Structure 1
């Protein structure tokens, strides 16, 4: 099989690896694996001339896109096997293929993998465990702490749930903090609008997790009367599944909280 131009260049001079993280993540994995298929000996010698930090960055980007690709690279040689176990790689590894709530009995390898993700502060792993601690084990402080940790790494789902929890706080300070958290999340989603990810998507992801566990608690919505007599604007085609169309932030997020609380009746 003839080499593609990208593979030929990489086989001759691995300095291009320094630029690999600029291309799409799956392509980075394919380029490296194809080079092993075609020029194994030459690549193995040249790979050791590349900075470990650069290779680790590539592995982390591959991990965030495809766990199977990461496993393939991990098995390629001793160097990649060692670097693939780096904390930075586990922090970014995708958990898309991992069930939201693993069922027991769990294999030793799978359990070890999840523990490594948590120890590496993988945001998705922290988010999932936070959901379990709060809604299943009823360990509220532990659950909130995990969700706050995941939120500090800009995890959309954790930020959303944390905002919902804060909205249900008994004091006004907690409620206002929740509104700020959700406003910041919405702004961040707008900045990444090309991805098409919305607040309703955060809620739907929560629903998938809640539906896979035994929910032992729900959130109690505090009564809140809008001083402005705010009502949702009608006649603009607003979807009942989103929180748009309100004149004030407080009523907007109250409506979203209502949608979120409806998940517990279906979980």
Structure 2
């Protein structure tokens, strides 16, 4: 006998099938490997720390897995001040764990601030270099600038690094963003590192001149013919952000 195109037997089986489907749905999430859930949360964290914190409130498993090192290693710190005006113990603990887990942005921030402050300079430089090895482009820019201040041998290395970052218009726009960010950091801290407070480094001994009338934004739109000259132009705004530096 049929009811609306379905046999009585099939209708009797429907509740059982529905229960099985519901059971499968409710158990599928808990059966996911921890590594997979951790990877999902790490991707969420890399996009937004706010979304990560919201995810932690969803369930106990998210809150537990969100403490994995890989999540802290990849979480975005874009919404955290590099130099906070007020100390927040919870924020400080969070950022410290990010550094322990080798989060590149956390390493870069602490490294560059401490280096220019003259605080634990060797350790600070090591943090910046770790961030560079992890693929942090802004840290690579800061490291190149630091090298330019580091004596003749390191200066040549820094010049080559800066030159390699400005091969196209898109790259030069990114360099300008990194330069502006570094200048903001320098203006927010008390720069005390004697290595960068001496005489302004000169990368080009010749007097090459740009087209008269070009402003700072226009200088970023073109590539200098001379590596040393381009480096002098690049390092100039950084030096201007430093206190008591001689020309």
TM-score bin (small chain): 0.7 to 0.9
**1:33-48 alignment, distance < 5 Å:** 45-48=27-30
TM-score (norm: length of structure 2): 0.76
Q: Unaligned stretches of 5+ in structure 1? A: 1-39
Match of 1:16 in 2: none
TM-score (norm: length of structure 1): 0.71
**1:230-249 alignment, distance < 5 Å:** 230-233=208-211, 239=217, 242=220, 244-249=222-227
Question: Partners in 1 of 2:132 and 2:234 — Cα distance?
Answer: 19
Go from structure 1 to structure 2 and tell me whether the alpha carbon gap of 1:249 and 1:113 turns closer, same or farther (over 3 Å shift).
same
Question: Partners in 2 of 1:117 and 1:158 — Cα distance?
Answer: 16
> Given that residues 134 and 143 in structure 1 are in contact (C-alpha distance below 8 angstroms), is that contact kept between their aligned partners in structure 2?
yes
Go from structure 1 to structure 2 and tell me whether the alpha carbon gap of 1:44 and 1:141 turns closer, same or farther (over 3 Å shift).
farther
Match of 1:177 in 2: 157
Q: CA deviation at 1:240?
A: 5.2
Match of 1:213 in 2: 189
> Given that residues 129 and 139 in structure 2 are in contact (C-alpha distance below 8 angstroms), is that contact kept between their aligned partners in structure 1?
yes
| Cα offsets for 1:85-106 (capped at 9, x unmatched) | 1111111111112111134543
Larger Rg: 2
Q: How many residues align?
A: 220
What secondary structure sits across from 1:56 in the alignment? helix
Question: Partners in 2 of 1:225 and 1:242 — Cα distance?
Answer: 18
**1:248-259 alignment, distance < 5 Å:** 248-259=226-237
Match of 1:72 in 2: 54
Question: Partners in 2 of 1:144 and 1:51 — Cα distance?
Answer: 38
Tell me: higher relative CO, structure 1 or 2? Use CA pairs within 8 A at least 6 residues apart. Answer: 2
Q: Unaligned stretches of 5+ in structure 2? A: 1-21
The farther-off stretch of 44-53 and 86-95 is 44-53
Q: CA deviation at 1:262?
A: 1.3
**1:1-267 alignment, distance < 5 Å:** 45-107=27-89, 109-171=90-152, 173-186=153-166, 193=170, 197-217=173-193, 218-219=196-197, 220-226=199-205, 230-233=208-211, 239=217, 242=220, 244-265=222-243
